[in-house]
Chain A
């Protein structure tokens, strides 16, 4: 019996170690020998632990469910844009998360700053952050530090030093493509560092391929048509561009995500909300964005839908 207990003890210690490596939390009762040892190790918070201390819910239930409760704090997360012209969408979504993290940390601890590390290549091809634009988006510009490293080596060093300094609520690391010098080893190192200091590291991979990394999840972010601006009376203003919308697909996550997500960022409320469908499918037909008077639609063309009903008798020809 004693031998059995010792073996169990060893087993638990091993499980605990594995759980720690995987970043999961052990249920409190599994540490006592002989209780429900067969209970699977879920990433559920301990009973005494506030769930919000490890996760930051986005407020979109389906999305939070895939993330097992919300945005994990103090982890490496990867956001990938397939093309460089999607840089706006990738940046926007990641900045939205930064705003949430920023608000959360400003409340919890006094860490108001966000560090944005943007490789020079990306800055040249996709542009620099704009103070006024960030403000419109919900992030006060005086809470941002922007680092412009020359190469990936400098960028990685900056990311690690930034995490180490514990002065930031979030660190954005923006890279172009899949640099050879930023492989699994480096990403593992950064993710361990992020976990150790409890600061989230958001990796933006602009125009990059899918690549194995030690990020806790990877999202592919694409553009999505925005819904029209909402008017106070509940209707929408036709042909206008409302809040930014994003098309998200999980490429790597602990729980499988079956469908893509369409989220919208509300800069005034500073929160994400779900879009039911991309706006293109919601009834608005695409039309040229010409504000001038449209010509009347020409009739009698073969592509026009035929009038309903049957032709019983043709008009007289003469």
Chain B
């Protein structure tokens, strides 16, 4: 085992990275060693990146220990680049982090200066001057390349500036020049933000952190009210909203809530989050308080405004939409379902439940499942078991209906039976040797009606066909 990272004290007493743990312990017997946990490090970095959302929506992770913030157009909100940088550094320092940061015009330049340089803000024309004294590894080159450049006497970035480009490219590949151009800002380098940028976003910074749920909901309502004019101006209604709560201690809570119909009514937006809050209940921990609250519109659709008539009809659709949203916010989208027919003759594949929010717009307008889709079939049961249940049945060979069957440890005597309805397997989905099913509609002595099937044709497919119970009729 080797040391992968050291804290300040360890560095001061002379330990090195990649030193063996045994050796380090021999030097300092009281050394405390913690196992490296790369996943936890990544989570921590992601949490810091989340926290950085307060400065700009464009936050990208960089390797294992860096974060890029694209502050184009954001700096003035914090009083300029210098003030922004100071704010970031001081706040992160309060969390106990040792952070270095640089503001510059390109990601490559910031990367180089933050890691190898001293400056904090590099102006537009100063890239060459700032880069020149830095070692070559500041260009984000791999070790092999740095070593081979070192061999030919190139040690600083400044050494590369006035070399002819063609020989460099020929000898060291295009990667070197690309990195150099990126650092100098000659080549555009995009950063890849972690999250999509919200189309609309409203936020509120609080002088005093708030903790109470009602206060947060009230703030959410205020934000929703502030969002409405912009939605109206663009003719949009939101479908997916996200409420970001920045906790004082740096954690960021994200609550998202979807609407089944495009929505711009502030009260209904706030109601969505009230349901989410209630669903989370204890999981929502406001800690020492929330100091920034932001409402994002992640998805929006065009909103068709309808005039209501005096009788108030047309409320049904709105009521339904509200209900679906409430349920989705509280119990998740999978709670409320709408059945949809599918093209299949096997009963368990012939229908599907989809979240109601997805079909609500077409609900009760789509024509019922066309009868010609299934040209000829017998009646289907009202309820179908999720998985057919095996039963022990007595039936005449080869193809008789069951005379009696034992289902869930109870013996049922069949009084009447209708069938068989023979359904072949769907060979284009199932394996080729899947058995044919013979369905029987049977009634027991009391009058319960069941749907049973025999799997496998006697002697043509199997010698021991099995019986299954698949559903119950009314």
Point out residues on A near B: beta carbons under 8 Å.
Answer: 85-89, 91-93, 95-96, 109-113, 123-124, 126-137, 140-150, 154, 157-158, 161-162, 164-167, 222-226, 239-241, 244-247, 265, 278-280, 286-292
- Given A137-B382, A166-B316, A95:B338 Cβ within 8 A: no
- Complexed CA–CA distance, A140 and B367 (Å): 9
| List of B residues within 8 angstroms of A149 by Cβ | 331, 335
| List of A residues within 8 angstroms of B331 by Cβ | 149-150, 154, 158
Q: A140 to B368, Cβ gap below 8 A?
A: yes
Point out residues on B near A: beta carbons under 8 Å.
Answer: 313, 315-317, 319-320, 322-323, 326-327, 330-331, 334-341, 347, 350-351, 353, 356, 363-364, 366, 368-369, 374, 377, 379-386, 396, 400-403, 408, 410, 414-418, 441-443, 445-450, 471-474
Tell me the number of A-to-B contacts counted with CB atoms below 8 Å: 216
Q: B474 to A135, Cβ gap below 8 A?
A: no
Q: A146 to B353, Cβ gap below 8 A?
A: yes
- Complexed CA–CA distance, A127 and B331 (Å): 21
Q: B319 to A241, Cβ gap below 8 A?
A: no
Q: A154 to B316, Cβ gap below 8 A?
A: no
User: Nearest Cβ in chain B — how far from A205, in angstroms?
Assistant: 16
- Given A110-B313, A147-B336, A226-B449, A165:B418 Cβ within 8 A: no
Q: A136 to B363, Cβ gap below 8 A?
A: no
Q: B327 to A290, Cβ gap below 8 A?
A: no
Q: Tell me the nearest residue of chain B to A141, going by C-beta.
A: B339
Which of B337, B340, B472 interacts with A147 by CB under 8 Å? B337
| List of B residues within 8 angstroms of A240 by Cβ | 416, 418
User: Nearest Cβ in chain A — how far from B302, in angstroms?
Assistant: 23
Q: B474 to A137, Cβ gap below 8 A?
A: yes
- Given A149-B331, A154-B331, A241:B441 Cβ within 8 A: yes
Q: A146 to B341, Cβ gap below 8 A?
A: no
Q: Tell me the nearest residue of chain A to B342, going by C-beta.
A: A131
Which of B315, B326, B350, B472 interacts with A88 by CB under 8 Å? B472
Q: B382 to A129, Cβ gap below 8 A?
A: yes
- Other A-B pairs beyond A86-B448, A130-B383, 6, CB < 8 Å: A85-B410, A88-B381, A133-B379, A142-B364, A290-B403, A292-B396
User: Nearest Cβ in chain A — how far from B381, in angstroms?
Assistant: 5
| List of A residues within 8 angstroms of B353 by Cβ | 128, 146
- Complexed CA–CA distance, A282 and B105 (Å): 93
- Complexed CA–CA distance, A236 and B293 (Å): 72
- Given A127-B386, A146-B353, A223:B449 Cβ within 8 A: yes
Q: Tell me the nearest residue of chain B to A132, going by C-beta.
A: B380
Q: A289 to B401, Cβ gap below 8 A?
A: yes
User: Nearest Cβ in chain B — how far from A185, in angstroms?
Assistant: 20
Q: A145 to B446, Cβ gap below 8 A?
A: no
User: Nearest Cβ in chain A — how far from B109, in angstroms?
Assistant: 54
- Complexed CA–CA distance, A221 and B360 (Å): 33
User: Nearest Cβ in chain A — how far from B397, in angstroms?
Assistant: 10
- Complexed CA–CA distance, A130 and B352 (Å): 9
Q: A147 to B449, Cβ gap below 8 A?
A: no
Q: B335 to A148, Cβ gap below 8 A?
A: yes
Q: A165 to B401, Cβ gap below 8 A?
A: no
Which of B327, B471, B473, B474 interacts with A158 by CB under 8 Å? B327
- Complexed CA–CA distance, A300 and B356 (Å): 67
- Given A133-B471, A226-B449, A113:B364 Cβ within 8 A: yes
User: Nearest Cβ in chain B — how far from A281, in angstroms?
Assistant: 12
| List of A residues within 8 angstroms of B326 by Cβ | 161
| List of B residues within 8 angstroms of A286 by Cβ | 415, 445
- Complexed CA–CA distance, A162 and B350 (Å): 28
Q: B338 to A89, Cβ gap below 8 A?
A: no
Q: Tell me the nearest residue of chain A to B381, going by C-beta.
A: A133
Q: A289 to B415, Cβ gap below 8 A?
A: yes
- Complexed CA–CA distance, A91 and B471 (Å): 13
Q: B380 to A133, Cβ gap below 8 A?
A: yes
Q: Tell me the nearest residue of chain A to B472, going by C-beta.
A: A88
Q: A265 to B380, Cβ gap below 8 A?
A: no
| List of A residues within 8 angstroms of B418 by Cβ | 240-241
| List of A residues within 8 angstroms of B339 by Cβ | 129-131, 134, 141-142, 144, 146
| List of B residues within 8 angstroms of A164 by Cβ | 323
| List of A residues within 8 angstroms of B415 by Cβ | 225, 280, 286-287, 289
- Complexed CA–CA distance, A130 and B474 (Å): 12
User: Nearest Cβ in chain A — how far from B399, in angstroms?
Assistant: 9
22 contacts between A and B (CB under 8 A): A85-B408, A85-B472, A109-B316, A110-B313, A110-B316, A127-B386, A129-B384, A130-B347, A130-B382, A132-B374, A133-B381, A135-B380, A142-B368, A147-B335, A158-B335, A161-B327, A162-B323, A165-B322, A225-B415, A240-B418, A291-B400, A291-B401
- Complexed CA–CA distance, A292 and B327 (Å): 54
Which of A124, A131, A290 interacts with B396 by CB under 8 Å? A290
